Amino acid sequence: MKLVLNLLGFVFVVGVCTAEPPISQPHWNDQNQNGKKEVYQDPRQPIEKRVEDLLGRMTLEEKIGQLVQIEAKPDMANSQDEFLRQGRIGSLLGSQAIEKPGLLNRLQRISVEESRLGIPLIIGHDTIHGFRTIFPIPLAQACAWEPALFERTQTISARESAAVGIHWAFAPMVDLARDPRWGRIAEGFGEDPWLGSLDTAACVRGFQGTNTADPDRLVACLKHYVGYGAAEGGRDYNTTEISEYTLRNFYLPQFKAGVAAGAGTVMSGFNLLSAAPASANHHTLTEILRGEWKFQGFVVSDWGSVQELIAHGVAADGAEAARLALTAGVDMEMLSTNYRATLGRQVKDGKVKVTVIDEAVRRVLRVKFAKGLFEKPYVDENMCHHAFLKPDALALAREAAANSCVLLKNNNHLLPLSRRIKSFALIGPFADDGRNLLGCWSGRGRAEDTVSLATGLGAKLAPGVALTVVRGCEPAEGWQLIPQLDGTKIFEHHASSGHESDIPKAVAAARAADIIIMALGEPASWSGEDSARSDLGLPGHQNELFDAVAALGKPVIVVLINGRPLALPHLQEKAAAILEAWNPGAQGGNGVADILFGDVAPAGRLTASFPRSVGQVPVYYNHYNTGRPNLGQYVDGPREALYPFGFGLTYTTFEYGHVALSANQLNVDGTMTARVRIKNTGSRPGAEVVQLYIRDLAGSAGPHPVRELKGFQKVQMNPGDSQELAFTISERELGYYDVNGQWLVEPGRFQLWLAKDSASGDPVAFEMMEARNSVQAQH
């Protein structure tokens, strides 16, 4: 896909290059005739004043230039220099030129020192879950139920990225996802908008800090606005049909939370959203984002998504695509160059108002000033490599890997592993693998910097303890998406590699070992962009491998390495223990070993439901009720998820007392408290995530899901300890959005749960008294 777009982009650039003569303008001096800095060059001036001053000096071509983002390529030699000199490129996308601060500085120098107004470039990159120190994929980190973890990991991601000259992260991806076939579910937070909103805000804080001008920070980008995760069939880039009501209550809240947290930019999506492309959607990009939420930053398109308006069938040519996207509210065009090629002419022809361009330029400049680029445009080329893989980053990567793990099954307390065990067999395609632990969008992470499961486990073993590692089979057979150096992926067919023959070797190792651990899952390249699956089982010969080992009748512990919820009822039935480790990142092996040996108690809980079969998809906890809630079953299997949202075990057990409410009636502007006593009834210390769910039984603007997460507390308790937890409930937990984005809090009957996951616990009832039309709150 990208390859095609790349080519299109390239053809376009060449076309523009030959079609439009260079503009010759007098060079604008750094200082005016009195030797003073101009207003826009003076950091003591307020940003808005600097923006207006600069805007007032710009030619139309220079203005349009600020709305152009092209890819910086190592081999781009001097092909774009003239455009830079003319101020006709506003931003670079750094994917291939990253870790080449010299190149980025060279290009920046042309913009700053050789262009008329010296406007610096803003350089963006896909720093998603780490740059060189790779943390667990976002879906995994979300399972820690610890938004502060995101703040910490993204702080390190920003630090490492900034060291090579990146100013801007194309993250966080805040798309709600209910369909594990969609490969990009790995990049987000799962299926809950409430928890997703906390995670979004935490990521923004992590990237931007309190001042984005801090050289160690990046501007954040909320993507992909909006609805992209609802792709039909889970196929990437596919059509989405979302009602305004569902959009408001499920898909928009994370974006709203990110805007409220101060995110500098937003990326418009690839998808058709209810028949209007997300990258030409005036309703979402202007009415909601700017009108309702007062977003002051800029919107960048996704990779070629302006050009794709033609393929979507809403624009006849590049000029129309540019006009539709810009007037809808897409300020900067990524990769394709329809803005640069056509907007000048369209303004002259009266088809696009210059005021629309001015407004887009203002937004871009605002972010550039706020990032401090005019004061510090360059990166220190010598320092960058000292910033990578620092001890604090590695320690955090290990902590994050452990905290992201979700224990799905643990028969007879098989885990944690005893230190008295004398021999281990570690079997499976991910047993001694670095690359697949990193997951999709792994920045500049390297397999050789990654602690594999074999290494992590080995480090825990006393001298004399045997660890036999057997791969057993390849992660997948047949067609595979293979990432290319230029960032594209191509399908390659891999004929059966004959690795099934390792299965007997695996069985022999398992037979000889006291404990069998199997590392199963899916290749990292099977999740992320354009990596949808139509089956959610273990690919290749992994089931055969598992069955052969399980046939020995010895307990098998499975560690899952994957980027999406899988449908694994077979493992649930046959394995003795299952630990969902996801793509756990550069310290994955250490983090997982910490969990397996009980040095860290598993505290992760799922943020996306695991189906039993692909036919159940989408299966998510916060669905609306039907008119016949007891009917609508499948004739050939249950309809409930195999592991529901919120589910996860630990090495001890917790008992919940009755839920008590401070009152069973509440005024709309009042508060009440829900209390529950929980007790650690097992024999080990452990962490429990107590989850608050609410259901509003009737809404005037629309229905409410059967349960909605509205709070949680993560508590660490020793064996025998008991503790009463209190949750305050107010209109923040009880309201919802109508189709106009109004926050409504309505009288009526509600149910409340304090439970260990979205499928357990008994509800208590209460009533909201007194009508109030609409409570405008900060949501």
Which residues are known catalytic residues?
Answer: 302
Provide the residue type at 465 as one letter.
V
Q: Is 126 in the site for ligand BGC (CB under 6 A)?
A: yes
**CB of residue 286 to ligand BGC, shortest distance in Å:** 22
**How far apart (Å, rounded) are the C-alpha atoms in residues 364 and 69?**
11
Q: Is it true that the peptide bond before 364 is cis, omega within 30 degrees of 0?
A: no
Residue with tokens 């595979």: 480
Q: Measured from the CB atom, is 95 or 342 closer to ligand BGC?
A: 95
Q: Is 223 in the site for ligand BGC (CB under 6 A)?
A: yes
Contacts of 291 (CB under 8 A, 6+ apart): none
List the beta bridge partners of residue 163: none
CA 127 vs CA 132, 206, 220, 482: distances in Å: 9, 12, 10, 20
Q: Measured from the CB atom, is 93 or 510 closer to ligand BGC?
A: 93
**Nearest in space to 484 (alpha carbons), one of 530, 431, 533, 438:** 530
Q: Measured from the CB atom, is 95 or 307 closer to ligand BGC?
A: 95
Q: Measured from the CB atom, is 255 or 766 closer to ligand BGC?
A: 255
State which H helix or E strand residue 590 sits in.
helix 588-596
* Longest CA–CA separation in the chain, Å: 88
How many CB atoms are closer than 10 A to CB 720?
A: 10
698 to 727, contacts with ligand BGC by CB under 6 A? none
**CB of residue 758 to ligand BGC, shortest distance in Å:** 29
By rule CB under 6 A, what string of x and - marks binding of each residue 476-515 to ligand BGC?
----------------------------------------
513 to 552, contacts with ligand BGC by CB under 6 A? 529
Length of the chain: 779
**Nearest in space to 346 (alpha carbons), one of 314, 328, 319:** 319
User: Nearest 5°: phi and psi at 665?
Assistant: -135, 150
**CB of residue 3 to ligand BGC, shortest distance in Å:** 11
Label each residue of 409-423 as H, E or C. EEHHHCCCCCCCCCE
Give the residue, chosen from 145, 170, 251, 766, that forms a contact with ligand BGC under the rule CB under 6 A. 170
Q: Is 363 in the site for ligand BGC (CB under 6 A)?
A: no
Q: Measured from the CB atom, is 96 or 653 closer to ligand BGC?
A: 96
**How far apart (Å, rounded) are the C-alpha atoms in residues 281 and 599?**
50
Q: Measured from the CB atom, is 271 or 616 closer to ligand BGC?
A: 271
Q: Measured from the CB atom, is 331 or 529 closer to ligand BGC?
A: 529
Q: Is 95 in the site for ligand BGC (CB under 6 A)?
A: yes
- Do 51 and 369 touch, CB atoms closer than 8 A? yes
Q: Is 71 in the site for ligand BGC (CB under 6 A)?
A: no
Give the residue, chosen from 303, 339, 651, 737, that forms a contact with ligand BGC under the rule CB under 6 A. 303
**CB of residue 176 to ligand BGC, shortest distance in Å:** 15
Q: Measured from the CB atom, is 302 or 696 closer to ligand BGC?
A: 302
**How far apart (Å, rounded) are the C-alpha atoms in residues 777 and 779?**
6
**CB of residue 239 to ligand BGC, shortest distance in Å:** 16
Residues near ligand BGC (CB under 6 A), total? 8
CA 396 vs CA 10, 112, 591, 743: distances in Å: 40, 37, 10, 38
Sign (positive/negative) of CA torsion 762, 767, 771, 775?
A: negative
**CB of residue 419 to ligand BGC, shortest distance in Å:** 44
Label each residue of 754-778 as H, E or C. EECCCCCCCCEEEEEECCCCCCCCC
How many CB atoms are closer than 10 A to CB 148?
A: 12
260 to 299, contacts with ligand BGC by CB under 6 A? none
DSSP labels, 641-707: -SB-TT--B-SS-EEE---EES-SEEETT--EEEEEEEEE-SSS-EEEEEEEEEEES--SSS--BS-
Q: Measured from the CB atom, is 207 or 430 closer to ligand BGC?
A: 207
**CB of residue 479 to ligand BGC, shortest distance in Å:** 21
Q: Measured from the CB atom, is 117 or 263 closer to ligand BGC?
A: 263
> Per 3-state DSSP, what percentage of the chain is helix, strand, and coil (rounded to 5)?
35, 20, 45
Q: Measured from the CB atom, is 105 or 488 closer to ligand BGC?
A: 488
**How far apart (Å, rounded) are the C-alpha atoms in residues 152 and 650?**
24
Q: Is 207 in the site for ligand BGC (CB under 6 A)?
A: no
Give the residue, chosen from 302, 333, 708, 757, that forms a contact with ligand BGC under the rule CB under 6 A. 302
**CB of residue 620 to ligand BGC, shortest distance in Å:** 23
Q: Is 399 in the site for ligand BGC (CB under 6 A)?
A: no
**CB of residue 287 to ligand BGC, shortest distance in Å:** 24
Contacts of 51 (CB under 8 A, 6+ apart): 40, 362, 365, 366, 369
**CB of residue 487 to ligand BGC, shortest distance in Å:** 7
**CB of residue 95 to ligand BGC, shortest distance in Å:** 6
**CB of residue 441 to ligand BGC, shortest distance in Å:** 8
Q: Measured from the CB atom, is 335 or 425 closer to ligand BGC?
A: 335
Residue with the CB atom nearest ligand BGC in the bound state? 170
**How far apart (Å, rounded) are the C-alpha atoms in residues 590 and 434?**
12
What three-state secondary structure class fits 130? coil
User: Nearest 5°: phi and psi at 771?
Assistant: -80, 145
**How far apart (Å, rounded) are the C-alpha atoms in residues 692 and 661?**
13
**How far apart (Å, rounded) are the C-alpha atoms in residues 190 and 143?**
9
Residues that bind ligand BGC (CB under 6 A): 93, 95, 126, 170, 223, 302-303, 529
